[in-house]
Structure 1
């Protein structure tokens, strides 16, 4: 695993090593991955779709395109005649009335870390595979709406993570080079996207889904640890 710069070094004494930090959202800012996975499993079971736990894990960190491809494969395999749009409508109806309290899923120390990064003059951005609508809801519910000067959604692109385009676009919007920034990720697709974009990738440790984060430059146990690498 590569070494990450020390936040206390780099440039002038006391200056942060990166001009900006680009955060993923699900699994990094909010602990939604387990919740979403349980709900998706329940939806599939109630829809008459048989899928293993190992297959469900393929949805963690997946792009919207890959997510829809997996769902269509599982419905078809179960003998259910439906297209991708039909599955999306069916799932949308299933979610009606199931409000998520995102504030209770906010990872510990996130807001305090964002406040401290801004105090140190570090610019903040968000690059998530989720839709703009979902991003806006999560940030509003968690009181994080005013922290990010650039917010990029995977739905803006033909392919989201692991394709690096979402990060390249975010860098362009910030007007910064990859060497000036780091990203904070958790999933294999996210880590791969950050590395392909040339970013220093810091992974928030995730051991519940059986994937490796070894491709990241550094691994932290919690978001506040970002300040003390």
Structure 2
């Protein structure tokens, strides 16, 4: 039985991935390097240190990657002042699941100050019973660590947890943690590999409470 639901943040609860993509394009123009959308989308679900380690050459060189990342955040937050929105059904799903007695966890590759800043306008940070952010887990998604750490904080067996994700790296992390994964795609359509790792693919978070209740009544048998 699912008793806890663990949420990714960017692109799952908050519509930030389009802002992040635009900020990377602007940083590339400012700093004089080239970056394509495929590379930008491959960042989704990864922590800052992993992105810099793997893609430093594409961020203007490893020596400039930190500066590029900082500037990306500056532009992203500027855009967020007018263009930050919750994903469809996000608040309703969180409040419905909480009211039904599910424990809620936040498991995001964004650093804690960034996560709190993104959720603050909507008053939703306090709805989570536990949260794990950025580098607070030993390894980044697609490793399962961030979900296992969050489950431990909640005091719930991983087998009794659902993961809600939009990214390929997040889906892989949730599946590796032994949890039921509910995918709500955002910018990138899932591949057959990703679909095979998911318990169910949803059109929006509006469908999530019913999908989890359905799993508890049918899928867990």
The superposition leaves residues 159-192 of structure 1 with CA deviations (integer Å, 9 ceiling, x where unpaired) of: 2111111111111111110121111011111001
Question: Hey, what does 1:82 align to over in structure 2?
Answer: 63
| Equivalent runs, 1:1-229 vs 2, <5 Å | 17-76=1-60, 82-91=63-72, 95=75, 98=78, 100-101=80-81, 104-206=84-186, 208-212=187-191, 213-214=194-195, 215-229=197-211
The RMSD of aligned alpha carbons is 2.3
Unaligned segments of structure 2, at least 5 residues? 212-221
Contact 2:181 2:198 in 1 (8 A): yes
Contact 1:202 1:217 in 2 (8 A): yes
> Taking structure 1 as reference, are residues 162 and 95 closer, same or farther at Cα in structure 2, changes over 3 Å only?
same
Counterpart secondary structure, 2:169? helix
> Taking structure 1 as reference, are residues 71 and 45 closer, same or farther at Cα in structure 2, changes over 3 Å only?
farther
Between 137-146 and 124-133, report the one with greater CA deviation: 137-146
Aligned-residue offset at 1:101: 3.3
1-side partners of 2:76 and 2:141: how far apart? 27
Counterpart secondary structure, 1:184? strand
Contact 2:141 2:170 in 1 (8 A): yes
> Taking structure 1 as reference, are residues 103 and 151 closer, same or farther at Cα in structure 2, changes over 3 Å only?
farther
The superposition leaves residues 91-120 of structure 1 with CA deviations (integer Å, 9 ceiling, x where unpaired) of: 45x539725138841012211221111111
2-side partners of 1:37 and 1:53: how far apart? 7
2-side partners of 1:45 and 1:95: how far apart? 12
- TM-score when normalising by structure 1: 0.81
Contact 1:203 1:219 in 2 (8 A): yes
The superposition leaves residues 140-176 of structure 1 with CA deviations (integer Å, 9 ceiling, x where unpaired) of: 1112122101010132134211111111111111111
Contact 1:103 1:141 in 2 (8 A): no
Please identify which structure carries the higher helix content. Answer: 2
